[in-house]
Structure 1
Amino acid sequence: MKPSMAIKPLVFAVAAVMAVAIQADERRGNDHHHNNGHHQQQPKDPHKDPRFFATASATLNDQQDNYDNFVLNQGTENTADVSDSLNDAEGNAGLNVAAGDMNQQDNEAAIASSDAEWIFGGSYASTDANQSQHDNIAVNISTTNSATLDGSANDSSGNVGVNVAAGDFNQQKNMMAAASSGGRYAIASGPVNQESTGNVVSNLGVATFEKETLRARFEAEGTYKGWGSGVVIDDKERGHRGKDKVDKDPLYFKEAGTFELSGTATYQVLVPTGFTNVVTNDATVSGSLNNASGNVGANVAAGVGNQQANSLSIAACQSCL
């Protein structure tokens, strides 16, 4: 027989017993009034009995905000690594590992349970998550972000949450809401709201160059012309009255020719060849979560502005309406 079918007769039986008890109280009150002249005792209101309308509740409200932040990474290495962890874990286990800037992580569980004594009561479990990031700026120059989940959470059972993030402005969340009731209702909810607006990410690498020697050969030709005048002086001659006389003969000339020039010019320039240490984002899950049972959530992120969530809601009751 199903538990829900088995509990229903119990509900009716307890209700009948309560009704008989109420009638007995009324009769005793009436007899007491007639015999002793006292005021009549007011009958009990079953709707005010805590056993009928008692409620077990568990509520978690979480808000994660990232805004108006600026991050500059130059040659930065952000590494988040989970290795050989949470193996054979049981129950409620949460693990958060982050490397970088402005990362937000959370593991939460809300559990509410009520037994069969609360016949007309119930249980309520709720998780509510809001993740918001806006107007953030991240500039990565030759940056490496690496997030790794390796050999972890194997053979685990129960509620297990793992968050691994490397980089900037990452938001991760694992949530579970469980409600179990022996009464008339069980409610479990786990809404998630994620918003990401107005964010700027710039990923830049360092440019590489090589020196290149350039050679140039040149040749040039030209002509020139010229002219001039002068005198030619002969030997001295005996002049009048025994004085020496210089003989100057006039001279006129013209000159013309050509010239040639040649040579080699060398100089060096920087030639771009590519980029080195470019921005690298690696997220890896290896050899993990094997043979796990129950509610298992894993979030692994590398980079900027990632939003991740695992949400589970469970509701069970034995005498649901």
Structure 2
Amino acid sequence: MFALRRTVLPTLSLARGYASSGNVSALLLIEHKDNKIAASTLNALTAASHLGGGVTALVAGNAPDTVVGEVAKLSGVTKVLVAKDAAYTHALPESHAALLVEIVKAQGFTHLIASHSAFGKNIMPRAAALLDVAQISDITAINGDDTFVRPIYAGNAIATVKSHDKIKVITVRGTAFPAAAHGDTTAPHEDAPAVADKKLSEFVSEHMQKSDRPELDSATRVIAGGRGMKNGENFKLLYDLADKLGAAVGASRAAVDAGFVDNSLQIGQTGKIVAPELYVAVGISGAIQHLAGMKDSKTIVAINKDPEAPIFQVADYGLVSDLFTAVPELTKKL
């Protein structure tokens, strides 16, 4: 049991520059798969760099050498810790959380950071609990060593949160920060402390869905369908349109709950947060939970036969039409 030690401040400043105390040391957990760094981790690195004091990156895995080489070249990374062990092959949260805690305690990091992806959300709360601190989730700006901005109430309110914990455990909203680029130097790397695997969990199997379309999290164009699609077979209309645009396909929670598509496509407060250049919402009413996941998109297009649908309030362009007529016509003209 741990106490929640937070102060919600009455005022909000979105400025990301501030005077650092000079006692900041940040540890960034690197998400990777198939020797590729997750795009959201690059955004989290930018956020960590705003704290000052340099960023130490942690790469854990069975054979992470390729990833270590790429991470060492990223701008803002001053050192890379390498945890090479079969226990970290499948990113089991219990093993990763124990590793993070051991490193933080041994090397005295003040900030523990990861992206607010399924990976980060699975591991960081466990690490926070083991450290007996309160996690600061889904931050969108940094106002100081201990002060952060984050959305609450499905993005309808923005809170400036001040943490009094000695160790800040943070997850970063990827769409709020630019991705880090490669720098001019290569950071040194060293072995992370060894941690005994307590075998609290066991990897059984995984089933991957492969697609030639862009990843939903990092796509510059997204076509999303909602309850108005009526069934899963009708999502073929969106796939055809997505192929013409080179877009990823997503869905609202209503479509996922109805069984139209897999939950890996869900966009919204309880799904993925996206901010593409173009977002096309088809048959989506526009519940606040869905808007929380896509309202930062640069251009929003809504297609819905209900002129009173809330989605039109946030759309840059709206088409009041039956999607089963409008989408095939749009696809044909592209």
Given the two structures, how large is their TM-score scaled by the length of structure 1? 0.18
- Larger Rg over CA atoms: 1
The structure richer in strand per residue is: 1
More contact order relative to length (CA 8 Å, sep ≥ 6): 1
Given the two structures, how large is their TM-score scaled by the length of structure 2? 0.17
